[in-house]
Structure 1
Amino acid sequence: MTGRDLRALFDPASVAVVGASDDESKYGNWIGAQALRMAPERPVYLVNRRAATVLGRAAYPSLAGAPGPAELVVIAVPAAGFEAAVDEALDAGARAIVGISAGFAELGPEGRALQDRVAKRVRAAGAVLLGPNCLGVADSTTGLTLASNPLPAGPVSLLSQSGNMALELSRFLAGRGLGFARFASLGNQADLGAADLIRACTTHHGTEIVAVYCEDFGDGRAFVTAAAEATSAGKPVLLLTVGASAASVRGARSHTGSMTTDGAVIDAACRAGGVYRVASPRELADLASALRGCAGPVRRVGVIADGGGHGAVASDLAEAAGLAVPEFSPALVAGLRAELPPSANVTNPVDLAGAGERDISSFGRVLAAALADEEVDGVLVTGYFGGYREYGPALAAAEVAEAHTLAGHVRAHGKPVAVHTMHPDSPAARVLAEHGVPVFAAVEDALRTLALLGTGGTVRPAATPTAAAPPVTGDGYAEARALLAAGGVRYPPASVVHTEEQAVDAAERIGYPVVLKALGPVHKSDLGGVALGLRCADELRAAFRDIYKLSGYSVEAMADTAGGVELIAGVHTDPRFGPVAMVGLGGVFTEVLRDVAFALAPVTAETAHGLLTGLRGAALLRGARGRRPVDLDAAARAVAAITQVAAAHPEIAELEVNPLLVTPNGAVGLDARIALA
């Protein structure tokens, strides 16, 4: 793993704040006040060109006038003076610069040009720039306090493109007993990007979890690689991003000049890097809390409730979240039956049926039995636990002791457990949280967190692309077909023709029945540009005269479609993440069905197989209602070949085969399309 040296950013020997101010409405005031919290551990120099004192401390008119050099310089001046301030910092020997100032790429081309010019200068000097248009940096392990607001210390390193998002997340984390090891406000990422900072956190001893709020991924493949490195090093990466709605895209572009990326592409990138994608700051904090305990994917969940209503509602919500609540094994049912009163339900969900009041230790015995079962991946405890203290001091003390017992079982079995209680602030609930067992006030949050545990943590990198090939210059159907065939996709015999006689001659060589296609339009069938199953010269001549008129045609052998399923497979180039593979149910109803899956390209045949079997309509491929299963291995090889062709040709913006016909006997392409960048 390689990366840039960011020691001067997170552990500088000395700091200067350029633009420090007594005006409490300015960032220079907020940052300056936070910077002074570090004195006297490290020298802090306040720079203000017009004031002799700022915040009750001596101020200097320039960095050159300060008593010593500043290894890290924070610049909080108007955009018009930013470039000059950067030059002054570099001349004074700064190794890291934090640009608080706004007014750059987020304002348009002129601002972007200024931003790029400054970043180039910083890199040429061997320094690093965080921002501009950011909210600062902090590191609780080194005592660095250069963010606009105080932040709680803890094991989570946050890299955020939004300052306010960081402040909200800090509240959620603090409520779960967590805080920040590091905080870096990404801003416009003119120099340092999310990938650089993820790498720095991966090697940071104080970071256990890396959280990212990002609107623009910059080099998306670098982000994925850095996230994969962190995941492999045992430091989960959690991502909160935008792009699911038109409004969020508009907001991101006006906010940081970002170019947001389609949500399906981001999901594919997260799978490749082992990243957990969350939908809100609260969800991020919940998942971070769960990952600090017993992490691991959960598919089959055991539900333990001290009331039938809680168990039933939790079961419905679990399945809505994508979790299964299967009936317990006979052995587990028998074991639970021995521990609980006859009125208890023990099949899953478990209803303790009043056992909690009579014997609070029943919680621990039931939890231990459920966790020991190999058919249970994780457990939800839901209901009243934490509230039994209201029945008297003896039960209150026993409940706290049982919380310690529950935490011990979780630790011993190493499976995820979430506790939902209507008393989340009770002493027993606090014991659970202190021992790493996540506690939730809402059962839907608990179940969503358990479901999220299975969405990340495993790196699935894209395949290694083949060597680059000579550039493609033509974007016609015949060129696309020939390119794909050369790359390993099987096509029926075909011939391009321009006249009726040429069509008949070609059909005689190929053998009837044949297909006649008009070359050119994407949706040929919609325009009357395809004639199928032509069995003789007379039918071919009639079709030639009636078909959609264009300058060129393709005569092709008619594929045997018996027992076949039409797929769509292709690659499009995302401006941030590069080539992205797409596969789904295809043919003329592709846009209607919208049953598609994505992965970063190129993909292996194994990955393609997984994409195909994960489709909603995968039952059609396995054989449904008496149909024979299709050759999934052949389909996967064809999809992999398509993605390799696209990856070898960066000049291709889109490459598509629709339909890719898959039958019990193999896979064959029936169309092809190229769009050049």
Structure 2
Amino acid sequence: MTDTTTWDRAAGQEPRRALVGDLLRQAREAGRTSLTAPEGRRVAEAYGIPTPAEGLAECSDEAVALAARIGYPVALKIVSPDVLHKTEAGGVRVGLRSAAEVRGAFTSIVQNVRAYAPHARILGIQVQQMVPAGQEVIVGAVTDPTFGKVVAFGLGGVLVEVLRDVTFRLAPVSAQEAASMLDGIRAAEVLKGVRGAPAVDRAALVDLVVAVSQLAADFPEIAEVDLNPVFAAADGAMAADVRVLLSTTDAVPRRRYSREEILTAMRRLMRPRSVAVIGASDARGKIGNSVMRNLVDGGFPGEIHPVNPKADDILGRKAYRSVTDVPGDVDVAVFAVPARFVPGALEEVGRRGIPNAVLIPSGFAETGEEALQEQVVEIAERYGVRVLGPNIYGYYSTWQDLCATFCTPYDVKGPVALTSQSGGIGMAILGFARSTRTGVSAIVGLGNKSDVDEDDLLTWFGEDPNTACVAMHLEDLKDGRAFVEAARATVPRKPIVVLKAGRTGAGARAAGSHTGALAGDDAVYDDILRQAGVIRAPGLREMLEYARALPVLPAPRGDNVVIITGAGGSGVLLSDAVVDNGLQLMTIPDDLDAAFRAHIPPFGAAGNPVDITGGEPPATYEATIRLGLADPRVHALVLGYWHTIVTPPMVFAELTARVVAEFRERGVEKPVVASLAGDTEVEDACRHLFEHGVVAYPYTTELPVAVLGAKYRWARAAGLLPGRDGGVRR
């Protein structure tokens, strides 16, 4: 298989790039937005992409001569820079087996295209070798507005439009990543051969995906590459059609900061020693008053400097007419003034040398005031000020006792960092944290993301010793590649959970190729977030629960999951949840099966799930849980509890917590999750279990297993378990 690194070492690399570059330049100079079929073939040849033998005929006699030289059967296709969809124009005929058929097809194609597009330029007819039979797949690349060049693979031909079974990766890809794409489609088994059909040549397909990804990455001016169909057979793969679309505009590069620059700025933002509040106020009900009170009442140990030209003293602290009058170094300026006053105040912040500005006010791009926001960004970049916001609720950095927000204070310190693009979601995060007593290291609003965004914060949280898990609500990413880079650096040490809002394919409506039409916003996000090792949450509740639970669970050390339940019905539901989350139910060995049976009644059931039945005393729960924890072949436990008088909820919770703690003291750490069904007493029991390292939920069999599945997905992404995909595509 070909790895991306071999492309850079390959002989003829520069001549190949020069040839393709000349073709693209000539097409753009001619005002064209696509290459012709013969030009596409030359590009394919330069990158080692197999295509059928072919030639260009300008008359029927030339077509007949070419067909004789290539060998029958042949296909004829229109060549016109003005006809992208050849089949729709009646510009394709296949399976031609004689000179007479070729002549007739030539005339018919020209007539069809003239009727379809009277003003289209016809450069000739492409005479092409009929491709040997094989499984039709699609390989392509598209320029995504968030992630840049991405490569796509899936079933091809008409199936691509019906099933949309396609997977995406950032381009260029390695051979290993390309192979994962072959395995990542729902119909992956088809490629291995079904109903007597031979398996396709995987190595040839991998090489093809790698080549297309490198082609797209090498030339920013290429908007889309579309090989459809590609016929994959047991002895190779061949692209029957090559389409290359060109970009009509040049990308505007975004300002990028080095990792060191990001960490320096974020350190002063998240661990400030001095904060100025621009627009601080003594009047209750004003944002400037709420921010000041939260900073003071929250116990921030650093200096707090109110800035208000109409006040001498605010909340017992000297007020300054301008931020330029504030003495000493200031790390953060929090803005609590109307939007129209922000540019002038930001100029003063820049001249003062303050590195961070937190813009709480709304009234910028979110209300149509793009010019005002652009002015703010220009001022900030001119002075080197990093801007958080605007249009945010502020931020919390609990380990610094910093509550720089107009919302309610929160001071429960812990390992979870949470961010949100939406203020409403931010309040939901705050309420959830409070109701569940989730310890957080930070809660940060991002709002319009005029500057500081998820990749900046993720870079910081990845290094922050107080953060063990990062959860982010986002509606978009300004720079998807920067986010992926930050995620890849963070995932080996701590999990990242993302709730991506906006599951829409609207961005694909104007696409000019099959690949482009398949690159719906959510499809690309889904695959590339998975490629980066990020855990994608299906909803807000799941994002918050994953963030709360993942730091509690130890990392699994193997795939074998065992269910122990007091109710057969919950055992079935828990089994379904295990399968739905891509986990593996252990096949119980005979000796372990016999050991379980020794503790359960005859009408119970060993195997997996282990059904101890509902009337069993606490000793049965304890004995079976001990067996699961003690056996090194068992890697994770899922417990299903059913409320009974014989074993009340809190009794179950206390014995489970005690046994798990005992084994952890011995160095045996396995993830244990529990589902509790019963009266309201199970709620207190779940809280007790959570506080003692067992992730437990009342009234649901799905959520505890989903959390376990998320932990497994992170463990695989972090390299702690073999690389099988730990989650099901949803």
Match of 1:379 in 2: 637
TM-score by length of 1: 0.60
Asked if the contact 2:365–2:448 (Cα under 8 Å) also holds between the matched residues in 1, the reply is yes
In the TM superposition, 1:439-454 aligns within 5 A as 439-441=696-698, 442-454=700-712
* Residue matched to 1:414: 669
Change (3 A) 1:298 1:98: farther
- The reply on whether 1:208 has 2:468 as its aligned counterpart is yes
Q: 1:29 is paired with a residue of what secondary structure?
A: helix
Between 1:27-36 and 1:51-60, the stretch displaced more is: 51-60
- C-alpha deviation, 1:56, in angstroms: 6.3
1:39 and 1:326 mapped to 2: Cα distance?
51
Residue 403 of structure 1 deviates from its aligned partner by 2.7
Summarize the alignment of residues 607-622 of structure 1 with structure 2, pairs less than 5 Å apart.
Answer: none
d(CA) in 2 for partners of 1:266 and 1:390? 45
Gaps (5+ residues) in structure 2? 1-258, 509-518
Counterpart position of 2:363? 103
Shift of 1:450: 2.2
Distance 1:298 1:150, change over 3 A: farther
The Cα of 1:416 is off from its aligned counterpart by 2.2
Preserved CA contact (<8 Å) 1:344 1:351: yes
Question: Any idea what SS the aligned residue of 1:440 has?
Answer: strand
Match of 1:269 among 510, 520, 528: 528
Which residue of structure 2 aligns with residue 83 of structure 1?
343
Q: Secondary structure at the match of 2:608?
A: coil
Q: Counterparts of 2:337 and 2:638 in 1: how far apart (Å)?
A: 52
Cross-structure match for 2:689: 432
Equivalent position amino acid for 1:11 in 2: R
Note if contact 2:491-2:718 (Cα within 8 Å) is conserved in structure 1: no
Distance 1:349 1:9 in 2: 50
Paired letter, 1:382: G
Distance 2:322 2:682 in 1: 51
CA distance in 1, matches of 2:707, 2:558: 10
Give how far 1:364 is off: 2.9
Letter in structure 2 aligned against 1:240: L
How far, CA to CA, are the matches of 1:129 and 1:194 in structure 2?
Answer: 13
DSSP 3-state at the match of 2:637: strand
Q: Deviation digits for residues 485-508 of structure 1, max 9, x if unmatched?
A: xxxxxxxxxxxxxxxxxxxxxxxx
* Equivalent pair of 1:298/1:450 in contact (CA under 8 Å): no
Match of 2:114 in 1: none
Q: Sort the Cα spacing of 1:23 and 1:195 in 2 relative to 1 into closer, same or farther, 3 A.
A: same
Judged with a 3 Å threshold, the aligned counterparts in structure 2 of structure 1 residues 459 and 306 are, in CA distance, closer, same or farther, namely closer
SS at match of 2:626: helix
Quote the residue 2:143 is aligned against. Answer: none
Tell me the amino acid that sits aligned with residue 702 of structure 2.
Answer: E
**1 CA distance for matches of 2:520 and 2:633?**
39
Contact 1:311 1:382 in 2 (8 A): yes
- CA drift at 1:237: 0.9
Question: Partner of 1:158: helix, strand, or coil?
Answer: strand
Q: 1:172 touches 1:281 (CA, 8 Å); kept in 2? A: no
What is the alpha-carbon distance in structure 2 between the residues aligned to residue 307 and residue 364 of structure 1? Answer: 16
Is the 8 Å Cα contact of residues 331 and 355 (structure 2) preserved in structure 1? yes
1:130 lines up with 2:393 in the alignment: no
1:581 maps to none
List per-residue Cα deviations over 1:279-299 (Å, max 9, x = no partner).
223212322233222234886
Percent same amino acid at aligned positions? 31
**Any idea what SS the aligned residue of 1:302 has?**
strand
What displacement does 1:74 show? Answer: 0.4
Q: In 1, Cα distance between the equivalents of 2:718 and 2:676?
A: 36
Q: How does 1:286-305 map to 2 (within 5 A)?
A: 286-292=545-551, 293-296=553-556, 301-305=561-565
Give how far 1:388 is off. 5.6
- Alpha-carbon contact 2:469-2:547 (below 8 Å) kept: yes
User: 1:138 touches 1:183 (CA, 8 Å); kept in 2?
Assistant: yes
Per-residue Cα deviation, 1:530-555 (whole angstroms, up to 9, x for no partner): xxxxxxxxxxxxxxxxxxxxxxxxxx
Q: Does 1:141 align with 2:399?
A: yes
Show the 5 A alignment for 1:330-369.
330-354=590-614, 356-357=616-617, 360-369=618-627
Counterparts of 2:465 and 2:450, CA distance in 1:
27
Q: What's 1:159 paired with?
A: 419
Q: Cα 1:203–1:327, aligned 2, differ >3 Å: closer, same or farther?
A: closer
Determine if contact 1:157/1:180 at 8 Å carries over to the other structure.
yes
TM-score by length of 2: 0.56
State the distance in 1 between where 2:640 and 2:506 align.
Answer: 37
Counterparts of 1:376 and 1:299, CA distance in 2: 8
Aligned partner of residue 546 in structure 2, secondary structure:
helix
Corresponding residue pairs, total: 448
Residue 367 of structure 1 and its aligned partner are, at CA, apart by: 2.2
Aligned match of 1:314 in 557, 560, 574?
A: 574
Specify whether residues 386 and 238 from structure 1 end up closer, same or farther in structure 2 by C-alpha distance, changes over 3 A only: farther
8 Å contact from structure 2 (residues 393, 445) kept in 1: yes
